[in-house]
Amino acid sequence: MMSGTRSERGSVYVTRREDYTAVTRVISVKLPVGLIEVLDELIEKGYFQNRSDAIREAIRKLLASYRDLDTQKLSRGLMLGIR
């Protein structure tokens, strides 16, 4: 079951499933046509169900890489502090 409401920063949707509830917000993003074409090819090949799924996965990976980078910087800082 999915319901949508409008907020000042975009539409918010609540999806309730048996095992989880997800709250999502619709945002607008401008992308170069070439990126969209490649994205659509990945969808056609079955890697993703739709553009939203592909973009969510890309953002998750981007955030994870920055989180790893921050962890490495923190670890290096701690090591330098110990020496």
Give pLDDT, residue 9: 62
Q: How many CB atoms lie within 10 A of CB 32?
A: 8
What backbone torsions phi and psi does residue 44 show, to the nearest 5 degrees?
-60, -35
Per-10-residue mean pLDDT for the chain, 83 residues long?
54 88 90 97 98 95 88 72 55
CA triple 63-10-55, angle to 5 deg: 35
What's the whole-model pTM score? 0.67
Give pLDDT, residue 11: 83
pLDDT, tens only, 51-70? 999 999 999 999 999 888 88
